[in-house]
Amino acid sequence: MKAVRTPAPALAGGATPVAALRGVGESVAGKLAARGLATVQDLWLHLPLRYEDRTRLTPIRELQPGVPAQVEGTVEAVERGFRYRPVLRVAIGDGSRATLVLRFFHFRAAQVAQFRPGTRLRCFGTPRPGQHGLEIVHPSYRVLGDDEAPALGESLDPVYPAVEGVGPATLRRLVGQALDLLPDADALELLPASTPGMAGLPGLRESLLVLHRPPADADLAALAAGQHPAQRRLALEELLAHHLSLRRQRLAQQQLHARALDGPGALAARLLRTLPFALTGAQRRVFEQVRADLALPNPMQRLVQGDVGSGKTVVAALAATLAVERGCQVALAAPTELLAEQHLANLKAWLEPLGIRVAWLAGKVTGKARAAALADVASGAAQVVVGTHALMQEGVAFHDLALVVVDEQHRFGVQQRLALRDKGPAHGHVPHQLVMTATPIPRTLAMTAYADLDVSAIDELPPGRTPVQTVAVSAERRPELVERIRAACAEGRQAYWVCTLIEEPEEDARPGQGARLQAQAAERTFEQLTTQLPGLRVGLVHGRLKGAEKQAVMRAFKDGALDLLVATTVIEVGVDVPNASLMIVENAERLGLAQLHQLRGRVGRGAAASSCVLLYQPPLSALARQRLDVLRQSNDGFLIAEKDLALRGPGELLGTRQTGLAAFRIADLARDAGLLPQVHALADHLLSGAPEIADRVVARWVGGAVRYAGA
Ligand code: ADP
Ligand code: MG
């Protein structure tokens, strides 16, 4: 595979390694590099998380709880105590007839000696209500000499995202040094105001300086919200760079060769005749798009978006027959074993009657069975291979892989998708790729996030489905719901109870803690419901269970051995249990609309009328009410995705996890979605009129990282 290296960043000074800065030895350089900060330019783009305003002094009387401030005062009293742990309390006054307490839990003897009554201090921190008025815990401070009155800062102090092993003061100094190396505006600017659409925006140099050293009167609220013009200017350029890079990759992809799967389609026609249903218009249209792509000697790169239940699998099966007809192999990967098994069952039922051999390769397949499966895959005897991540592992060799289907691709990384694609035959061909997702994203976003893919939409559900009836209900009415579950299960139906946690993110939250707390919440609900519904068989799944345990519970539910499944959001992707007709989602107001819609897609898969109850904690804010109303009124995943974006909820709609885009340094797809039309117009302009500028934009933001052609 040919690695495409973008041209060296043609940026005056920006490519200078950080090691060239004063005070950066091998060890510091290593620590910076570990955080992705290798060059001076990386430091330019390492933007502050927030700012501290030391440009003025606040009289103690005017301090507000929760609002960081700088204060100057004289020590009035010092108390050293021990309550559970050593504590030092220093009271200071500034003549404004109020006292502020500075409280320290970690301190050295030398520090205590500093705080003699009468000593003048200048300190900075966030006051909170304490036992005796306001107090600041662990302020930053300096002791002032008798007549010393240090100048106030001229700009806000940046607080940078921490770099392990490099202290904040050092980091601030290094970024300052890097900024001193900024070339003048013209040398730095790639998108001058004369570029269409750029008039009125601050230049790059000005934007960087404003963000690293905001003037005392800068709009802190806009900065905190990421809405400052300087932030928008940088986000615009970054989004542009990623978009251009994906468009480049797509062009490179189109240069590669693939098997033209352009047979007469006899197998597909036979499959269509044997299916127990007729394709919807949307399925037919999307299959025709796929078929036209596959007939070309260049690899297809197509994303099929389709709501849960829209029938994506059969489109994949039809595509598979086109490869088989040409004597080639197909791989279909799903993110979980259960999901892969479902695909296996469907594909076997549809394809084996046509004489097509379908093989199975998952982590669970070991020993002789695995060796046999691998041999079949390698010899080409297995024409269609279904599996999980196991398909992507080393040691899995195909005879002639011409089509790769990846389901729910956001659960896989781009790297995994590439690993599978790279299993194509060595003689100059790469496999076609069909990527399927049930997470619709709005068109403008798709154009950015999937600029390397063609996008099709199955925007119609098969006939005969009754839309899921959705209601929003206050958590106070929980007892009624317990009755409702009893009634549904008495009729032989099944139900889901989805627990989500109201999580107040804590500053010292440890990774994995969220999953543990979620699991605990689900366990509590499970115990309650088991007690309240003694006649029912209740199961529990959450993310802390082992894979096999989780699968066993899901399977029991699918087989009807459980009536009620208490679950965390782990059931989001997955299982088809047509008999389940009732779902209750707790704390629904806290979830993203797209995620709620995905969850709701677990019911309404059979003929029975289904309902989804969104439980919320009162009182409901106007915005939260509006968001839940969207779900009550619509079953259309695309519309919901658009609204989710418009209402800017805390949705999980977007993000690098789902798009396979490299992580952004500055941009945020949800926050900056409004910039996208401008990004697309700029990209068109540069690609047609100034490709060398396009190269430099990509090099500045995305370059350096090696990207594979057609990734
Ligand atoms: P998804 O798009 O969520 O992956 P599936 O492919 O699992 O949806 O299809 C959901 C169900 O609908 C399956 O049982 C499938 O056999 C069925 N189905 C697919 N297409 C049609 C159709 N055109 N008419 C009726 N049923 C269909
Ligand atoms: Mg599916």
706 near 1, Cβ under 8 Å?
Answer: no
Among candidates 649, 658, 657, which has minimal Cα distance to 627? 649
How many Å lie between the centroid of ligand 1 and the Cα of residue 175? 55
The domain made up of 57-144 is a member of CATH 3.40.50.300: no
How many Å lie between the centroid of ligand 2 and the Cα of residue 302? 16
Least confident of 101-110, 232-241, 335-344, 556-565: 335-344
Cβ(93) – ligand 1 distance below 6 Å:
no
How many Å lie between the centroid of ligand 1 and the Cα of residue 294? 22
Cβ(440) – ligand 1 distance below 6 Å:
no
Per CATH, 57-144 and 469-634 having the same topology is answered no
Cβ(311) – ligand 1 distance below 6 Å:
yes
Q: Render pLDDT for 154-202 as a digit per residue (tens, 0 to 9).
A: 899 999 998 999 999 999 999 999 999 999 999 999 999 999 889 889 9
Phi and psi based region of residue 78 (left: phi greater than 0; alpha: psi -120 to 50; beta: remaining): beta
* Residue ranges of domains in the chain: 10-51+157-225, 57-144, 266-458, 469-634
Atom 15 of ligand 1, nearest CA residue: 311
How many Å lie between the centroid of ligand 2 and the Cα of residue 312? 6
Q: Are strands 580-585 and 611-616 parallel, antiparallel or unpaired?
A: parallel
Confidence check: pLDDT of 219 > 50: yes
Q: Nearest bound ligand to CA 458?
A: 1
Average of per-residue pLDDT across 265-288: 97
Atom 9 of ligand 1, nearest CA residue: 311
CATH number assigned to the domain covering 469-634: 3.40.50.300
Provide the pLDDT for residue 596. 87
* Residue 573 pLDDT level (bands cut at 50, 70, 90): low
Average of per-residue pLDDT across 684-697: 93
Confidence check: pLDDT of 96 > 60: yes
**How many other β-carbons are positioned within 10 Å of the β-carbon of residue 562?**
22
Phi and psi at 670, nearest 5°, equal -70, -45
Average of per-residue pLDDT across 222-251: 89
How many Å lie between the centroid of ligand 1 and the Cα of residue 510? 41
Q: Render pLDDT for 65-94 as a digit per residue (tens, 0 to 9).
A: 999 999 999 999 999 887 778 889 999 999
Cβ(313) – ligand 1 distance below 6 Å:
yes
How many Å lie between the centroid of ligand 2 and the Cα of residue 711? 24
What the block records as the tokens of 208 is 């960087």
Nearest atom in ligand 1 to the alpha carbon of residue 310 is: 2
Confidence check: pLDDT of 626 > 50: yes
Cβ(280) – ligand 1 distance below 6 Å:
yes
* 43 Cβ contact partners less than 8 Å away, ≥ 6 residues apart: 18, 37, 174, 175, 178, 179
Confidence check: pLDDT of 8 > 60: no
Selection from 459-468, 515-524, 640-649 with the highest mean pLDDT: 459-468
**How many other β-carbons are positioned within 10 Å of the β-carbon of residue 697?**
25
Looking at domain 266-458, its CATH architecture is: 3-Layer(aba) Sandwich (3.40)
Provide the pLDDT for residue 674. 83
Nearest atom in ligand 1 to the alpha carbon of residue 279 is: 23
Average of per-residue pLDDT across 689-700: 91
Confidence check: pLDDT of 415 > 60: no
Cβ(438) – ligand 1 distance below 6 Å:
yes
The Cα-based distances of 175 to 18, 34, 159, 188, 242 in angstroms read 10, 16, 11, 17, 24
96 near 118, Cβ under 8 Å?
Answer: no
Average of per-residue pLDDT across 240-255: 85
* Residue 507 pLDDT level (bands cut at 50, 70, 90): very low
Cβ(637) – ligand 1 distance below 6 Å:
no
Instruction: Please work out, in degrees rounded to the nearest 5, the angle formed at the alpha carbon of residue 171 by the alpha carbons of 661 and 702.
Output: 20
Q: Nearest bound ligand to CA 277?
A: 1
Cβ(314) – ligand 1 distance below 6 Å:
yes
From 313, 347, 461, 558, give the residue whose CB has the most ligand 1 atoms within 8 Å, as the site to mutate.
313
Per DSSP, what are the bridge partners of residue 496? 565, 583
Mean of the per-residue pLDDT values for the chain? Answer: 86
Provide the pLDDT for residue 1. 35
**How many other β-carbons are positioned within 10 Å of the β-carbon of residue 355?**
10
Residue burial 466-502, b: 16+ Cβ < 10 Å; e: rest: eebbbebbeeeeeeebeeebbebbeeebbbbbbbbbe
Give the Cα separation of 325 and 358 in Å (integer).
14
Q: Report the percentage of the chain scoring pLDDT > 70.
A: 88
Selection from 30-34, 103-107, 284-288, 677-681 with the highest mean pLDDT: 284-288
Least confident of 97-101, 246-250, 513-517, 637-641: 513-517
